A and B are shown apart, each in its own frame.
Chain A
Amino acid sequence: MNPLRNPGRSGLGSLALIAAVLGGGAAAFAYTTGWLSPQRLTPDKMVEALTPPGGVPPGHRKNHAKGICFTGVFEANGNGATLSRAKVFEPGRHSALGRFNLGTPNPDAADATVRVRGMGLLIAAADGQEWRMAMISPPVFPASTPQAFHSLLLATASKDPGAMKAFASANPEFAAFADWAKTAPWTGSYAEEPYNSLNSFIFTDGTGVEHAVRWSLVPAAQPVPVSQADLEKRGADFLEQEIRERVRTAGPQRWTMVVTVADPGDPTADPSKIWPQGRRTVSVGTLVVQRIEPERDGPCRDINFDPTVLPPGISVSDDPFPAARSSVYRKSYDLRTAEAKDYPRTEAAKP
């Protein structure tokens, strides 16, 4: 007996059933979109927290907004093949495209006012496999989780003078970053900075064995400490001028990519925790920066350095940040491409 043909069901009951199915479906969809969950940390909320109270000029990345493009090559020495089967580790030269940048949502920030410097990098193997990454100069991340990072952004923007103190006491892992920010020497060049993945990833070698790793780009240029006060005298864009001039006069700039392999039990899920000394390191190749180009109309402008764009042989670990960064970077990309008419595209457009 087909219950749908049961003539005993009343029309009113059927209408109520239809209404319940539709209402339930719509409510489930609304829940999934997050409309019913104001507590959920969404990419929109993260972007909102990144935006300073006065707003920022539209059309730029929502963080690390100020930067300059470079192109060059990644010279793999072959040692990386013991850790990962990714083609970018096969000995040889792979094309590299990147962006030196400052950790600020303000594209007009004066260079000497921004503590964190960064590098977005895309290494492409000959077959088109891409490895994108976004690294920063501090040796530790200021927060353990994306939620804590969101709280940090809110505390930083807060008018309440006790907000940062409250954040630091609720998130003691912040101390290591704060200590670096206070004591590490400043330098006068993007070329003298190390750039660290901080996040942990999984390298899978040719036999299928997985290695939890972090990596750093260690500069060949000797860092020369300069006080922040002296840097402030060098003009708002001294970093961009310096790197352009340095590559023009001194030639290509180099960084060694050093991969650090975790021991079992190392905190792979928390980029605010440095791994203990003595971990195995493998130098896998050299990044050679050959040419500097302004961001406007430069080759890095339209690239989202999403750290989850990974070739076979590299994958995410239990570190929650790459997923969060991917989600937020995409939001930033969607927003800035929608605002593209406001981006100063040509030199002529700059006032």
Chain B
Amino acid sequence: MTSVPHRFTLLQRLLHWLMAACIVAMLFIGAGMVSTVAPKYLPLVSLHKTLGVILLGLVVIRLALRLYYPAPPLPADLPWPMKLAAKLSHQALYGLMIVMPLLGVSMLWAADYPVVLYGGVQIPALLPQSDRLHTLLWNAHFYLAFAFFALVLLHLAAALFHALIRRDGVFETISPLPLRDEAAAAE
């Protein structure tokens, strides 16, 4: 085993794709639920809250894994602005993954809504009702969701750029599939 890995660990890759699917779902559920008065509003809200709390748990595990295992290095020939963009966008994604569920649950507390998840699990309130705080948290949760979606699209564009145009192995570091040479070696 070399000290410099060429891919993320299997657990990290699985977590990445599981969370990616959930985060995209969360953004769409959130955008859909606040723009409807139809009966689906209630199950969407329930799902949004439940999935949000699950994602908060997952990102803690993910961050611990990320700090424990060294990340595969970016290609040496990648121009420095792209390296910087990669670093900053990943930090922003991690930040949003942590902050969004906290903002979501806090804004419910600040509105004196009981936070009840799917299956009747209730989370006790850690904040008192506050108009000002509720407005601040609500605005942050709402506008950051659009920033989050934009960042997800940017991340996807960069992934496709690495996979299809540069073909520099960056996409393969997180790809859920075994690498071609690994698959061949296993035979």
- Chain A residues within CB distance 8 Å of chain B: 1-2, 4-5, 7, 9, 11, 14-15, 17-18, 21-22, 25-26, 28-29, 32-34, 40-44, 46, 128-130, 146, 302-304, 306, 308-309, 312, 316, 318, 320, 322-324, 326-328, 333-334, 337-338, 340
Interface positions of B from 150 to 178, Cβ below 8 Å from A? 153, 156-157, 160-161, 163-165, 167, 171
Closest to A345 in B: B131
- Chain B residues within CB distance 8 Å of chain A: 27-28, 31-42, 45, 111-114, 120, 122, 124, 129, 131-132, 134-135, 138, 149, 153, 156-157, 160-161, 163-165, 167, 171, 180
The complex places the Cα of A326 from the Cα of B43 at a distance, in Å, of 12
Chain B nearest CB: distance from A50 CB in Å?
A: 12
Contact B34 A43 (CB under 8 A): yes
Chain B nearest CB: distance from A285 CB in Å?
A: 21
Cβ–Cβ < 8 Å partners of B28 in chain A: 28-29, 32
Chain A nearest CB: distance from B120 CB in Å?
A: 5
Closest 3 CB pairs of A and B: A340-B131, A34-B35, A14-B164
Contact A42 B39 (CB under 8 A): no
The interface residues of chain B, by DSSP majority, are classed as helix
Contact A4 B41 (CB under 8 A): no
Chain A nearest CB: distance from B125 CB in Å?
A: 9
Cβ–Cβ < 8 Å partners of B163 in chain A: 4
The complex places the Cα of A306 from the Cα of B111 at a distance, in Å, of 12
The interface residues of chain A, by DSSP majority, are classed as helix
Taking a contact as CB atoms closer than 8 A, the residue among A2, A4, A324 that contacts B37 in the complex is A324
The complex places the Cα of A34 from the Cα of B36 at a distance, in Å, of 8
Contact B37 A43 (CB under 8 A): yes
Closest to B43 in A: A323
The complex places the Cα of A324 from the Cα of B38 at a distance, in Å, of 6
Chain B nearest CB: distance from A62 CB in Å?
A: 14
The complex places the Cα of A46 from the Cα of B164 at a distance, in Å, of 47
Chain B nearest CB: distance from A1 CB in Å?
A: 8
The complex places the Cα of A216 from the Cα of B111 at a distance, in Å, of 27
Contacts A32-B28, A323-B39, A327-B36 known; list 7 others, CB within 8 Å.
A11-B165, A21-B157, A130-B114, A304-B112, A309-B114, A316-B42, A323-B38
The complex places the Cα of A107 from the Cα of B118 at a distance, in Å, of 37
Cβ–Cβ < 8 Å partners of B134 in chain A: 334, 337
- 10 pairs, A vs B, C-beta closer than 8 Å: A9-B164, A18-B164, A29-B27, A146-B38, A324-B37, A324-B41, A327-B37, A337-B111, A337-B134, A338-B138
